[in-house]
Structure 1
Amino acid sequence: MRRQSSWAPHLAAGMASPAERLAEALGGDILSGVLREDERLPAHRPLAWQLGIGVGSVTRAYAILERRGLVRSVHGRGTFVAVRHDAAGPMMDLATNMPPPMFSDRALARTLNRLAKHVDPGLFNIYPPVAGHLEHRRIMAHWLAGMGVAVAPDRLLLTGGAQQALNVAVHVARQHVSYAVAEAQTYPGMLGAMRQAGLPICPAAMDEHGMQPAALEAILARRRGERAIVYLTPEMHNPTTATMDLCRRRDIVALCRRFDALIVEDAVYVHRDDSARPALMTLAPERTFHVSSLSKILSPGLRIGALIPPDRYAEACLPALLASSLMIAPLSYAMMAQWMQDGTAESVRAALHAEAVRRQDLVLSVLGTCVVKPASHAFHAWLPLPAGQAARVVAQAQGLGVALPPSDAFLGGEGVQDTGVRLAFGNVTFRALPEALARVRRACADSAGKVSRDTMTIS
């Protein structure tokens, strides 16, 4: 007699198709450990009847999960969970900012097996064009269109991740600017790139909508005789989670036009098309270097990024890209193309978004008003704190078995008063996350008794 499934049937909320909502519900319960390895999933017809959906929707949902390697089907027996949940180690990593794994080893093996049968040997036998094969650039351009970025394939350069794209943008812009402006707290990788290029960095004050126009204007006006490059992360800013609304985006663009500043737009956290929050590149294509990547919204191991430079700087980007790296690994190209063409990439993108929402809700429920409630979704959160207390929280958390980034890692320059601690919650399992957050809450309490919210005007 077959063992019946223990899963309580339900659909995820939302407006997606029944198949997608079922895949999201099952995938979430598999990844969080509600369903264990080798547990049998419900049979198609009884599950369809219980949920009031078509049998075809159940079949499509199971196929989505199988493409991701979360389940395996056994002919004549049924469908089974294929993911093993390892116990958490002694140190919980809330320092590394990456999404949780959505591909299992089975999905990877199946992809590689398919590629072995169909991949073009020419991809491996010659050096690719500097900016990537045109077909792969077409695939990436189509993917970016779903993120609200319209670009012709020949204007897009493929890079070995977002960091390389940022480095190329800084290298090219450096010939035309004398200093940089960045948010008061910002991505350390870009700070390193600007410092390596010899660019003085002026930090601009922030609020819940990102860089404040008045702060940017004061810096640009004070150095009116010089040209600047302005680095911005408009969506789910790292580390503060600030997201620019349309008014803020237009104000920033207007100032950059007025003072002829160049813009580097870091869009690695953009996961969908939102007309209310257009890309800065869309608002100011003549001066914006747009950077995107697959690592934050698809898979950290797929080190493929995209750089869309302004037309007048596009030619200069090619030698800069060549000098920084000969090419992306051909296998990464092939895997990107396979996943985007067979629908795997889109299903994983949607699943990651749902997982980000679920984890953000958990973070807010455990840490409450200590943490900033974000306007968008990714796998990091921000605790605004005075500098001294932030350093103590990091040290206390370390003693409690939780790794956090150094409290000064994101400082954009001297004299920055707006400080805090970033939590990256994608690199631990969902089952371990409540304990990790409880330890952070204890570290905050031990450091000062209460987390202060007076250092940033965010809510």
Structure 2
Amino acid sequence: MTIYAPALVRGEGPLYAALADAIERDIASGGLAPGERLPTHRDLADALGLNVSTVTRGYREAEKRGLVSATVGRGTFVTSDAATNSSMVSFEPCAPGMLELGLINPLDRLDPEITDAFRRIARRKDPAALLRYSDPRGMAEHRKAGALWAERFNVPARAEDIIVCAGSQHALTCVLGGLLRPGDRVAVDALTYPGLKTLAAMLGLRLVPVAMDERGMDPAALDAACRRDEIRALYLMPGVHNPTTVTLPDARRNEIARLADRHDLIVVEDDAYDLTDPGRIAPVGNRVPHRGVYIAGMSKSLAAGLRVAFVVAPQHLLKPLAQAVLNTIWMAPPLNVELCAMWIQDGTADRVVAAKRAEAARRYMLACDALDGLRFRGKRSGFFLWLELPAPWTGQALEQAAAKRGVNVFGAEKFTVGQSPAPNAARVSLTGTESPDQLEKGLRIVRDILSGCP
């Protein structure tokens, strides 16, 4: 049997880095396929004439880059998304006329009118206070508003349980960076939010994929993963899972809460899309409040550009979270938070959420017509669909074919974790286009593509 033996470019850098570079080149060129098993450390060391410790460090470096995934007792495998860009946003300008069915836009044309809000702020007793340094946890009145916002997600909270962050991604950065250390393992759904994957790679955290079914994360698979690996935290999107749109049932949340207690896990819940389909099922963390951390974001519901989110956490975790805010941006901008707090308290936020749900519902019905004959799941007022692809289509193949026709979609490969196989599916945004007409045009192009051959 021929053993994979990459060609190392020996230069001034260490050999372990050269090995990781070689693995990366072979994945990019197609020489290594997603899911392919790599040689054992000893076998590769013998084939390349290296020390076993050098190969171990090389594999570890490749794992940090998201190229390979190692499982005790099974070996090292090329990750399912190794050849896929997990970033949701391109730093390159979009091609003119590209129809956006990948990125989810929170329907910002329905955001609150800001001119009157600034006038109200100017009439405050001391508006200049919003321009000064303040408590890294957030101003007292802002944390009170955060507790009110958390109630929309069925999360009971007091002002003293709140940390104010600059959006959900910053909140996630503070939670993972403040409560965990490099090398710690985090259990996640086998398909998960790509922003978590890139953030974990930056922080040096190891994501452990947990199998899913039509009801979300499988508790038995979570239990097995915790027994196999030393896992410190669990990341969930229980309300509307991104990308599959699954809602974690109440009974399953109870099972997962019991496992979190048994295995001493910090439970991190990021329900960015829960308000698009308010089922009002209590979060997992409500059942284990001493270990539950909940991120109640506002970007998908209200004014994404303001970057405001509220973190609800137990008292013993608040100090490291506040320190993480201090270490990253010192404090969420008080002027931005004041706008959101004002809209939460006067009912504007609720009216905007209702209007966005109504618009999303109209777009969902449009999608049902445009994608007639295809299998997909979604929420009736949700912002995206999970589209099952007919054989032999893959998500990556649809991405490429759609891009040639001027449509951007996200294949399942963008959401896979580690060596989890990517299903033949794609996430389709219903809110990325400016108008419903553009959405309908993009959806019909996708349907036409899928009616042909890859």
TM-score tier, shorter chain, comes to: 0.7 to 0.9
Correspondent of 1:240 among 228, 244, 247: 244
Instruction: Evaluate the alpha carbon distance shift between residue 345 and residue 377 of structure 1 in structure 2; reply closer, same or farther with a 3 A threshold.
Output: same
Contact kept? 2:99, 2:406, Cα under 8 Å: yes
Counterparts of 1:272 and 1:284 in 2: how far apart (Å)?
25
**Structure 1 residue 411, shift from structure 2 partner:** 1.4
SS in structure 1 at match of 2:378: coil
**Structure 1 residue 290, shift from structure 2 partner:** 0.8
Counterparts of 1:446 and 1:254 in 2: how far apart (Å)?
47
Counterparts of 1:419 and 1:215 in 2: how far apart (Å)?
22
Q: Gaps (5+ residues) in structure 1?
A: 1-87, 449-459
Instruction: Evaluate the alpha carbon distance shift between residue 340 and residue 102 of structure 1 in structure 2; reply closer, same or farther with a 3 A threshold.
Output: farther
Counterparts of 1:279 and 1:216 in 2: how far apart (Å)?
17
Contact kept? 1:353, 1:377, Cα under 8 Å: yes
Instruction: Evaluate the alpha carbon distance shift between residue 333 and residue 354 of structure 1 in structure 2; reply closer, same or farther with a 3 A threshold.
Output: same
Instruction: Evaluate the alpha carbon distance shift between residue 329 and residue 119 of structure 1 in structure 2; reply closer, same or farther with a 3 A threshold.
Output: farther
Report matched runs for 1:243-392 at 5 Å. 243-271=247-275, 277-368=281-372, 370-375=374-379, 377-385=381-389, 389-392=394-397
Instruction: Evaluate the alpha carbon distance shift between residue 400 and residue 174 of structure 1 in structure 2; reply closer, same or farther with a 3 A threshold.
Output: same
Instruction: Evaluate the alpha carbon distance shift between residue 274 and residue 400 of structure 1 in structure 2; reply closer, same or farther with a 3 A threshold.
Output: closer
Q: Deviations over 1:95-128 (max 9, x none)?
A: 21122124479x2223223333337324234201
Instruction: Give the count of matched residue pairs.
Output: 358
**Structure 1 residue 276, shift from structure 2 partner:** 5.9
Counterparts of 1:419 and 1:186 in 2: how far apart (Å)?
15
Q: Deviations over 1:315-372 (max 9, x none)?
A: 1111111111122223312211232233221110111122222222222232246343
Match of 2:405 in 1: 400
Q: Which amino acid aligns with 2:250?
A: L
Instruction: Evaluate the alpha carbon distance shift between residue 154 and residue 447 of structure 1 in structure 2; reply closer, same or farther with a 3 A threshold.
Output: farther
Q: Which amino acid aligns with 2:117?
A: T
Correspondent of 1:137 among 143, 146, 154: 143
Match of 1:410 in 2: 415
TM-score, with length taken from structure 2: 0.73
Please tell me the root mean square deviation across aligned C-alpha atoms, in Å.
Answer: 2.5
Match of 1:7 in 2: none
Match of 1:82 in 2: none
Match of 2:53 in 1: none
Q: Gaps (5+ residues) in structure 2?
A: 1-94
TM-score, with length taken from structure 1: 0.72
Contact kept? 1:387, 1:417, Cα under 8 Å: no
SS in structure 1 at match of 2:114: helix
Correspondent of 2:101 among 79, 94, 111: 94
Match of 1:203 in 2: 209
SS in structure 2 at match of 1:234: coil
Match of 2:431 in 1: 426
Instruction: Evaluate the alpha carbon distance shift between residue 287 and residue 387 of structure 1 in structure 2; reply closer, same or farther with a 3 A threshold.
Output: farther
Instruction: Evaluate the alpha carbon distance shift between residue 184 and residue 111 of structure 1 in structure 2; reply closer, same or farther with a 3 A threshold.
Output: same
Counterparts of 2:221 and 2:372 in 1: how far apart (Å)?
30
Match of 2:23 in 1: none
